[in-house]
Amino acid sequence: MNAVRAPSILPGFGMTLGFSTFFLCAIVLIPLAALVMRTATMGWEEFLAIVLDERAVASYRLSFGAALLAAFINSVFGFVVAWTLVRYEFPGRKLIDAFIDMPFALPTAVSGIALTAVFAENGPLGQLLAAYGIRVAYTWVGIVVALTLIGLPFVVRSVQPALLEVQRDLEDAAETLGAGRFYTFRRIILPTVLPALLTGFTMAFARGVGEYGSVIFIAGNLPFETEITPLLIVIKLEEFDYAGAAALGFIMLVISFVMLLSINLLQAWGRRRMVAAGR
């Protein structure tokens, strides 16, 4: 183990780190290395041509844009849901709380099919929205809806414990100092919950970018318009173009990795600041 670590009397560092690193390597790293190697077999220019292709770029814009929008919607509504579940008591609260995890459990294909059925123009909600000229299924809106569903648990489940933990004292302090509830929310609660919200946002976003199963059912899959990057990868695969698929996958992987890493670094930094406070 060449990792440098701070001394601790607890045992098992070598074993647990060794095992988890081994497991990670076997299941995640080596296979991903295969992807990178496959990408590397093609020339630099060829790689650029594939990843900068007009259609690919359009798909990034859609995939990342829709995931971003969905994560944003989730940040707002997921926060409201988390708040409601944490702060209010009402009949059925526990049930709803349990149901938040459903998108994790529901096979994505099923969520896609079911969402399409609901939001298609002849579906129960689709009809309602169609009356106002809003088309959901087979448009980018549908993609956002699917990604919102997929990402919802990430936001709610990150924010919930943070909200539970917000020291009641802080809110009480703000109140005795004369702050109204909205002011307290904006200046005290939101900044305190922000790291958790950010984590939820990132996870929802990261998950949304790669989502395939549920999106292909509800998206129109029209190139340049409603074609997501994972679909483009599948198309490359259908053309037996492994290198091209690997290249697109590689780009997505890099973006996701950088994003996750920066969030984790940000959180580690924040935690160190908090720990320093405890001393």
Partner 1 sequence: MAGGPSKALLAELATRPGRDTLASTATKGAFIAVSLLFLAALLFAPLVMVFATALSKGVLPYLQSFQDADTVAAIRLTLVTAAIVVPLNTVFGIAAAWAIAKFEFRGKSVLITLIDLPIAVSPVIAGLIYVLLFGIQGWFGLWLQEHNFSIIFALPGIVIATLFVTLPYVARELIPLMQQLGNDEEEAAITLGAGGLMTFFRVTLPKIRWGLVYGVILCNARAMGEFGAVSVVSGHIRGLTTTMPLHVEILYNEYNFVGAFAVASLLTLLAVLTLVIKTLVEWRTGYRKR
Partner 2 sequence: MRTAAVLAMLALACLAGCSTDDQGARVELLNVSYDPTRELYREFNDAFAREWRERAGETVRIKQSHGGSGSQARAVIDGLAADVVTLALAYDINSIQERGKRLGAHWQSRFPYNSAPYTSTIVFLVRHGNPRGIRDWPDLVRPDVTVVTPNPKTSGGARWNYLAAWGYALHRGLDGDWSKLDDPAAEAQVAAAREAAARFVAEIYRHVPVLDSGARGSTNTFVQRGVGDVLITWENEALLAIESLGPNQVEIVVPSVSILAEPPVAVVDTVVDRKGTRQVAEAYLQHLYSPEGQRIAARHHFRPRDPEVLAEHRAKFPELELFTVGEVFGGWNRAHEEHFAENALFDRMLRASRRAGAR
Partner 3 sequence: MSITLDQVTKRYEGSTVVNDVSLEVGEGEFFVLLGPSGSGKSTLLRAIAGLTGVDHGRIALHNQDVTHLSARERGVGLVFQNYALFRHMTVADNIEFALRVRRMRRAERIARRKELLRLVALEGMDDRLPTQLSGGQQQRVAVARALAHKPQVLLLDEPFGALDAKIREELRRTIRQVQRELKITTVLVTHDQEEAFALADRIGVMNLGRLLETGRPDELYARPATRFVATFLGAANLLLARQTPQGIHFGAMPVNARLAERLDGGRSHEVVAVLRPEEIELAPTRDTLKTNYIAQGVVEETIFTGALERMRVRLDHGSTGAQLAATDGNAGASIIEVTRTQHEHRTFPVSLGQAVAIGVRRIHVLPTPLSSYTAWAPDAAAAARLAEHPFLAELAARMKTRIACRPEPALDNPIDSDVQLDNISGVAVIEAHPEAIDRIEWLLHNGAGEVMVLPPLAGAPHRVLIHWADDSARRSTLAVAASLLRHVTAEAVYLGILPQNVSDTQRPMGVRSLLDARSEAQAVHGLDMRTELRFGVAAEELRRQLEDAPEQMLILGISDLDALHEGYGPLFAGATRHAMMVVYRPAGEAAGQQLIGEERLAMSES
Q: Which residues bind partner 2 (CB under 8 A)?
A: 54-55, 116-117, 120-123, 137-138, 216-217, 220-224, 227, 231, 234-235, 237-241, 244
Going by C-alpha positions, the residue among 270, 158, 135 that lies closest to residue 207 is 158
Residue type, 40: A
Measured between its terminal Cα atoms, the distance across the chain in Å is 30
Helices (H), 29-139: 30-40, 44-51, 54-87, 93-99, 102-105, 108-119, 124-130
Q: Does 224 bind partner 1 (CB under 8 A)?
A: no
- Cα(247)–Cα(46) distance, rounded to whole angstroms? 10
Identity of residue 133 = G
Site for partner 3 in 156-175 (CB under 8 A): 167, 169-170, 172-175
Q: Which residues of 91-113 are buried (b: 16+ CB within 10 A; e: fewer)?
A: eeeeeebeebeebeeeebeebbe
Which partner in partner 2, partner 1, partner 3, none is near 138 (CB below 5 to 8 A by kind)? partner 2
Q: Could you tell me the two tokens for 232?
A: 């483009």
274 binds partner 3 (CB under 8 A): yes
Residue 269 as a binder of partner 3 (CB under 8 A): the answer is no
Q: Does 61 bind partner 1 (CB under 8 A)?
A: no
Question: Measured from the CB of residue 148, what is the shortest distance to partner 2 in angstroms?
Answer: 20
- Reported residue count of the chain is 279
- Span from 45-53, 54-62, 148-156, 219-227 in contact with partner 1 (CB under 8 A): 148-156
7 φ, ψ (degrees, to nearest 5): -65, 145
Minimum separation from the CB atom of position 155 to partner 3 (A)? 20
- Helix, strand or coil, per DSSP, at residue 172: helix
Task: Give the nearer residue to partner 3 in terms of CB position, either 46 or 165.
Answer: 165
Q: Does 53 bind partner 1 (CB under 8 A)?
A: no
Contact 62, 140 (CB under 8 A): yes
Smaller CB distance to partner 2: residue 211 or 227?
227
Q: Which of 15, 48, 173, 222 touches partner 1 (CB under 8 A)?
A: 15
Cβ proximity to partner 2: between 175 and 241 the closer is 241
For residue 41, the partner it binds in partner 2, partner 1, partner 3, none, with Cβ less than 5 to 8 A by kind, is none
Point out which residues bind partner 3 (CB under 8 A). 167, 169-170, 172-180, 183, 187-188, 191-192, 273-274, 276-277
